[in-house]
């Protein structure tokens, strides 16, 4: 009975979240009828409808991510995220973002990789770098441009870095029209964890966008140094079952790319470095082929090798927009890993219903 | 006991998904299209401007009027719009708005800069997945919108030439985005 309570508590929280969204939903059924005032609308109303007034303003987005999964483990249906995201501004120079998870089936460090965005961005004059303070996605590789939080297939960060959201500060800006940079100093402990070892992780990235006729190429170079967790390759850290083998002083260099060739998009990342002097390297590549505005197919592959063993994975997935705020995804993933003398093979089918409102 | 727990959870999750689907049909909070490069767009469309501030605007009772003027319903996620007021020396010199249009192979993110009289100062594209990408982003195509106001028709093939042969659909998407943002500014200020 005790084990049921946290789950039921979570489901109640999800119910509350949905109930919060129910007001504008009902009001919006008729385009002719003025909707009831939603929280964000209330904030805007406070600012005045004549465009002259302006106080604190914010917007709230609710998200529900439900996934049926089948594979080596028994089939299950999980609520991976029932959450709210608040973004807003305070004055002319401060923006903020707060991620509020009401419920998730994720646990431990996997959960912390996905939940915990809580930061303020300070901007001064146009053209000057901005300063981000709080907990945020660290600027390494394709984490900067590819939002993986709502996707069944994750990028290499879960093994190559062992962290995604981390507390600290980040400077971000442009060197020229096509070149941007990020420089971050974080604790390496993950979101909502104390900096108990006074460790600092330094991450830097520079990227440049090249216009190539009808195509576009964005290339990024990243570097990272700091003490971070090394996960076992025998399970996926993001699914919450990840075992931390040790905390290593990691040195990483990464090359990331986004290549838009007409409607096709290739995302890639190449990472190399060491964990306390022991080599670690791998790559991640994904091709996205849109069939129409609503439907697209992704295929990809990844490899990772570290002192404890190696992992390779492949996947194919399809995404279909039911409406602009309801997305269905289906992904077939296979992975082979070996650690010590233990090999492991895994095949998993993940469905996803993602609803944002 | 564990079977019961799993069953309860399954039922609750399915119910939750069903309720969400029903609610999400029309519910929305914030427009999806983010403004990716404020500094560069301001420098391009309003050279010399100092900063910007964001006004949140909701269609409220003007939803029907807006939908009638644009000839389409607002998207499910469009219960709120961000008007970026461009400031120079303490005074508002214009407004920038963004819109996520439906292209042939994915979203087309359109940025429209408007002066204080409501005329287009410039149009840009942040991201797209179209085949005629360069033509769609060219000055020859986007420049056709300069100086247009909410009263001007923007029909592709008649008032606005398509970006390229075979690119009528994405061209119409951009034209619709510009028209829609002009109407929004006109109705919501």
Per domain, the residue ranges of chain A are 66-356
Contact A219, A255 (CB under 8 A): yes
How confident is the model at residue A73, as a pLDDT?
74
Split at pLDDT 50, 70, 90, the class of B169 is: very high
How confident is the model at residue A166, as a pLDDT?
96
**Mean pLDDT, range B140-163, rounded to an integer:** 96
How confident is the model at residue A4, as a pLDDT?
41
Residues of chain A with pLDDT below 50 are 1-56
How confident is the model at residue A241, as a pLDDT?
67
Per the structure, the count of domains in chain B is: 1
Domain assignment of residue B19, yes or no:
no
Specify the 3-state DSSP secondary structure of A56.
coil
Output the CATH code of domain A66-356: 2.40.160.10
Domain assignment of residue B74, yes or no:
yes
Distances (CA, A) of B110 to A103, B41, B104, B123: 35, 12, 15, 7
What the block records as the tokens of A284 is 């991640």
How confident is the model at residue B18, as a pLDDT?
53
d(CA B58, CA A44): 7
The CA distance from B180 to the nearest CA of chain A, in Å, is: 16
Nearest by CB to B80, which of A7, A41, A51?
A41
How confident is the model at residue A162, as a pLDDT?
95
Tell me how far apart the terminal alpha carbons of chain A are, to the nearest angstrom. Answer: 33
The CA distance from A309 to the nearest CA of chain B, in Å, is: 35
How confident is the model at residue A39, as a pLDDT?
33
From chain A, the residues in CB contact with B83 under 8 A are: 51
Q: In this complex, do A323 and B76 lie within 8 Å of one another by their Cβ atoms?
A: yes
Q: Please report the ipTM that was assigned to this predicted complex.
A: 0.77
From chain A, the residues in CB contact with B106 under 8 A are: 263, 290, 293, 296
pLDDT digits (tens, 9 = 90+) for B33-84: 889 989 899 999 999 998 898 888 888 889 999 999 999 988 877 878 889 9
d(CA B97, CA A51): 14
How confident is the model at residue A347, as a pLDDT?
94
Q: In this complex, do B64 and A7 lie within 8 Å of one another by their Cβ atoms?
A: no
What's the pTM? 0.81
Tell me how far apart the terminal alpha carbons of chain B are, to the nearest angstrom. Answer: 60
pLDDT, greater one: B176 or A213: B176
Task: Return the residue of B nearest to A124 by Cα.
Answer: B51
What percent of chain B is predicted at pLDDT more than 90?
A: 67
Query: Which of A4, A12, A25 is the best substitution to test chain B (most B C-beta atoms within 10 A)?
Result: A25
Range of the domain at B127: 28-188
Task: Return the residue of B nearest to A23 by Cα.
Answer: B27
């Amino acid at each position: 009975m005790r084990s049921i309570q946290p789950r039921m508590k979570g489901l109640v929280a999800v119910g509350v979240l949905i109930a919060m969204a129910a007001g504008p939903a009902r009001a919006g059924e008729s385009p002719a009828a003025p909707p009831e005032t939603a929280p964000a609308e209330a904030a805007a109303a406070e600012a005045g409808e004549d465009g002259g007034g302006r106080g604190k303003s914010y917007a709230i987005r609710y998200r529900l991510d439900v996934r049926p999964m089948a594979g080596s483990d028994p089939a299950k249906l999980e609520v991976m995220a029932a959450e709210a995201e608040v973004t807003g501004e305070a004055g002319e120079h401060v923006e903020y973002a707060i991620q509020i998870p009401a419920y998730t089936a994720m646990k431990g460090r996997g959960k912390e990789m996905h939940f915990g965005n809580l930061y303020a961005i300070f901007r001064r004059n146009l053209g000057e770098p901005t300063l981000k303070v709080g907990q945020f996605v660290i600027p390494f590789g394709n984490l900067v441009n590819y939002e993986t939080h709502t996707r069944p297939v994750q990028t290499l960060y879960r093994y190559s870095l062992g962290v995604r959201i981390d507390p600290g500060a980040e400077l971000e800006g442009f060197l020229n029209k096509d070149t941007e940079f990020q420089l971050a100093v974080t604790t390496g402990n993950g979101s909502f964890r104390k900096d108990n070892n006074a460790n600092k992780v330094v991450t830097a990235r520079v990227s440049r966008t090249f216009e190539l006729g009808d195509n576009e190429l964005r290339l990024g170079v990243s570097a990272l140094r700091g003490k971070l967790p090394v996960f076992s390759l025998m399970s996926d850290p993001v699914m919450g079952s990840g075992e931390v083998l040790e905390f290593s002083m990691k040195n990483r260099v990464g090359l990331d790319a986004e290549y838009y060739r007409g409607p096709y998009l290739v995302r890639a990342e190449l990472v190399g470095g060491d964990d306390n002097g022991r080599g670690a390297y791998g790559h991640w590549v994904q091709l996205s082929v849109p069939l129409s505005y609503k439907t697209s197919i992704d295929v990809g592959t990844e490899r990772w090798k570290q002192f404890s063993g190696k992992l390779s994975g492949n996947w194919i997935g399809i995404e279909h927009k039911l409406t602009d705020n309801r997305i269905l995804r289906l992904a077939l993933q296979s992975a082979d890993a070996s650690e010590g003398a233990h090999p492991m093979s895994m095949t998993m089918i993940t469905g996803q219903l993602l609803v944002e409102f | 006991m564990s079977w019961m727990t799993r069953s309860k959870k399954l039922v609750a999750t399915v119910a939750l998904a069903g309720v969400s689907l029903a609610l999400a049909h029309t519910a929305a909070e914030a427009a999806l299209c983010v403004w990716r490069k404020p500094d560069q767009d301001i420098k391009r469309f309003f050279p010399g401007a100092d900063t910007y501030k964001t006004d949140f605007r909701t269609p409220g009772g003007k939803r029907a009027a807006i939908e009638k003027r644009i000839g389409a319903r607002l998207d499910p996620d469009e219960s709120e719009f961000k008007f970026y007021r461009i400031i120079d020396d303490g005074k508002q010199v214009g407004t920038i708005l963004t819109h996520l249009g439906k292209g042939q192979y994915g979203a087309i993110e359109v940025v429209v800069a408007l002066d204080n009289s409501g005329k287009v100062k410039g149009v840009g594209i942040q991201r797209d997945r179209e085949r005629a990408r360069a033509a769609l982003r060219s000055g020859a195509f986007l420049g056709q919108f300069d100086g247009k106001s909410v009263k001007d028709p923007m029909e592709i093939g008649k008032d606005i030439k398509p970006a390229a042969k075979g690119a009528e659909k994405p061209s119409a998407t951009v034209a619709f985005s510009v028209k829609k943002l002009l109407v929004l500014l006109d109705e919501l200020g």
